Structure 1
Amino acid sequence: MFKLVTGKPGDGKTSNELWEFLTAKEYKGRDKFCTPIKGFEAAKHGVTEIPDIKGWRDLPEGSVIFIDEVQDYLGQRSGKEVPEWIRELARHRHSGKDFIATTQDPMFLDPFVRKLAKPHVHYHRPWNMKMVRHQWDTVQNDPTNKTARKSSQSRFVKPNPEVFKLYTSTVLDTHKAAPPWKLIAVAVVALVCLLGGSGLAMMRLLDMGPKPEPDPVAAHDVVVIDGKQATATGTPFDGLTQKPAINSEASWEPDKLKSRIEGMPWSAPIYDHLTRPNDFPRIAACISSERTGCRCFTQQGTPLKTPEKACEVLVKQGAFDPWKQGRQTAQGGNRSEPGRATTESEGPSEASEGITRVQYNKGRFLW
């Protein structure tokens, strides 16, 4: 294995890979070697430090070699001929050796070795915040490319804090978290617009539902109070302003003043002739979304508890309203009454008993 690890300074390539080099189970019990790492005392951790890797073929079989800043040892070459010790890296697996090489960019590496590298791991720390680890089976010449990142196996990582006690990562940490405030502001504005648009769409859907129509039958309801008939006209809520019912004698008894439902004083028996309902809750609109699920609302915009499957069917197919024609007929009948009351015939007619109506012509009568 020739593992190539890339990443910009401070993105976590050395901290993560050095800790894995020292603690991973697959490297346990094997001879370990490394090139010089600033502040790292190799001997204290069972690692042998080597000045370069030209003599890698002389190392024991099964060795694990950590090469920090590999461009210092296997960088771009000026000559076309590949040195033998580099060419032999193509057969490094024959001796069971594994290499872990870190560098800032894959193009810094010798082209011959770059073609041998597998896997390729790239560390990225956007805006100096969370570290992201990308991995490919082959070397990506530009691991920052969007297409390359989409094809990678990626996950968030966090280096073990103990590793920073083993080597000198930096003298002065100048990499401070810098969240993209402009992008965050744009995202917040977009979210507000989305929520506002959803609310407006819901309100319009509710307005499209059928409006509650007055019940013509309820215009003249005959009710019984203490065994006597009384006529109550108007809507159920006109009782606060209308005159008392004719020929009705309300009995102000304690039992009749007591509410049937606590907190609803109008549910007392004495108000029965004023609080007769003139409508019932109907499904006026149903809305389905991934965030809130499927919900239905009445013609007054109040939520209506509806089974999920039934709600989805109503959203897709709608439902027949068996009461719509009756409401339209009642409304049309009420509108036609004034027209008939104001229509006059052109000839004389009987307006009422004992009175004859004659059409008026200017100048015909002298008085």
Structure 2
Amino acid sequence: MLYLLTGSNGAGKSLRSVWQMRELLKEGRDVYWTNYRGFGVRLAITMANGERREVKHFPDAREWKQLPPNSVLFIDEAQQIMPSRRGGKSPPEFVTELDTHRSRGIDIYMTTPSPMKIDSEVRSLFAGHFHLIAFGDKQSRVFRFSECQEDPQSSSLRSQAAFELWAHPQELYGCYDSSEQHLTKAKPPWRQRIAKLLFVGAALLAVWVIYALFFAESEPTKPSAPSSGGLASMFGGGVSRGRSDAPRFRNAQEYLRYFTPRVPEAPWSMPAADATLKAKPALYCISSGAGLDGDGRPSEGGCRCLTEQGTRYVLPRAKCEVVARTGGAYNPYLDPATPTLASASSAGVPTSGQLRIMYIMYKTGQIFRRAQAPFSCSWREASRRETAIAQTTSGPMLATRGDSPQESRPHPRPPVMGPVPHRV
């Protein structure tokens, strides 16, 4: 059988052929070499039975018919012995006689840089084609074809070939002289170079991340912008932490005075809001006169105030009623473009926001009163309470269809509430 080994300089063709010689020696075959540089191939092995076998030099590859049967011949740089012919010339006799090499039991291995450099008559006889490509300094990629391929560099042909990654047997470097070891340095494939670059980049990125997380000094924090301080925390704003200009208090009394409004009905008048006021506080008060509550019990009435957040704000009753009737003091911190509750209604009609606050305060008072009394009563008790309400309240009489004026019942008036609260 004829076999072809191709590849550029440094791909490992000669080393692969010497490695193949050793494998054939182990099988007990006679191995010959020819056309190798320098001192040729110096390879010998010792068999298991103690017999020493070595490769032998064959002087002229053109006389291959003189080889003993079942022997193997390795021809290096085969293009020098059987070069490619020009058109019209007949092949040499030793080339045409290669058709009968199988009948003699002789195998021939040829190495050449390219299949196109040897005779076309020989190319048609190869039963195996090994194309080697260097993969780093100590490995080669071997593509095996079942016949000679004129363009083994083709990617489409390589995809159809059997592939193996062959590690160079370094112990065989001293068994032959080859210019491949000195003239050309194998270059790793571009995929391997890209993989190495990506690996180095990933390693540098990992080192930078670790340094940034654990070893980098944190930048000094810039002082935050002035905030509304205590007033913002009271009405929902954030409180600035870690400020160098934050006030210092010698005792608890100074702290309380700092957050105590100068005018009780104006919570924004506290000293904490003097410099940097960001919030827009508002105060809503509602008062009710004396009368019966929802359970029919006498009530002295009351007055309570809420902030714009719906939180309770405690004022003396006299001042609470003043705010409920007059709308409270002028608030200089409101945006002029922001309509107040007093200006939102042109004719004293409560706005939707006013009605919601009034309803919430009214229902809150009812729930609080009912919590102190039984939750249920008989229908007689309910009738008695309804009669008591009709007798003690004043207001227009509400007549129904079919009722005489004498039979009309007084319409119960809701609890007395102060004027529409005004937003301040």
Q: Greater CA radius of gyration, 1 or 2?
A: 2
